[in-house]
Chains A and B, each alone.
Chain A
Amino acid sequence: MESKMPNPTRVEINCTTGEVLEIELTDAEVAELTYQAELAAERKAEADAKAEADAQAKAALLERLGITADEAKLLLA
């Protein structure tokens, strides 16, 4: 029978006594961490996709206008 891997831990430091407690996360806390990690990965993917779409839109606009990015900067300066 396989034994369960221990969960990650968090640490509590008592600043009055100096006692350091390492506390194993509960399964619910591990599930919450996993959810947060998935959420963060989704947000990152969305941000990357938006940045890519913005870059493509900018390049297409410059091409339509027939100017370079440096020339566009000059116009906006």
Chain B
Amino acid sequence: MPNTFELIQAYTVGSGGQSSIDFNTIPSTYTDLCFKISVRITRSGYVGDILNISFNGASTSESSRRIEGAGSGSATSASNALLLAYQGSTTDATASTFGNGELYIPNYAGSTNKSASNDGVSENNGTTAYAGLTANLWSSTAAINQVTFTPDGGSNFVQYSTIYCYGVKNA
């Protein structure tokens, strides 16, 4: 089991916001990749939202399954292309709160199909906040050297959103 975390790159969004955050030229020298994510996005109408992700800029051979809950009622599930569930608090969530979560990509540089798991919560000091789990599959044998995060619905990341990229391997 990989047991060391090494920060590869950290990024904090500046005052103008960003429409997407792309980590590229990722070294293949680790066993796994782990992204720690804390973001807020400009979309309105929800208190939490999903992020779309892509590996190596691809948009095909992608699938995911997610389960989500909102603090009341029954949990729901859905399937999509690659995504992260409820990573982003939106403009309808309490001011200055950020959605948080993690994306873990085991064996990202290997020659088998790539899986990636995600947990995420939207932060909101109100009656509704979301939590979600996602299992992603990219059916490609290519090593992952690029991971791109894009808010859903044409929105942007706001200032102080952060994404840290860690390499994980045995000591």
Contact = CB atoms under 8 A, between A and B. Distances in A.
Contact of A15 (B26, B46, B152, B156): B26
Contacts of B155: 37
Given A13-B11, A15-B8, A39-B154, 4 more contacts: A8-B18, A9-B17, A13-B22, A16-B27
B43 interface: yes
B19 A9 contact: yes
Given A11-B11, A16-B27, A20-B11, A40 B19 contact: no
Contact of A8 (B17, B24, B27, B153): B17
Interface in B100-124: none
Interface residues of A, number: 26
A17 B18 CA distance: 21
A20 B9 CA distance: 10
B20 interface: yes
Interface string B118-157: 0000000000000000000000000000000000111110
Contacts of A68: none
B21 A40 contact: no
A40 B18 contact: no
A39 B43 CA distance: 12
A9 B32 CA distance: 29
A15 to B, nearest CB: 5
Nearest to A43: B153
Interface stretch (A28-36, A54-62, A69-77): A28-36
29 contacts: A8-B17, A8-B18, A9-B16, A9-B17, A10-B18, A10-B20, A10-B22, A11-B11, A11-B18, A13-B23, A14-B25, A15-B8, A15-B24, A16-B25, A16-B26, A17-B25, A20-B11, A32-B154, A33-B19, A35-B154, A37-B153, A37-B155, A38-B154, A39-B154, A40-B43, A40-B152, A40-B154, A41-B45, A44-B45
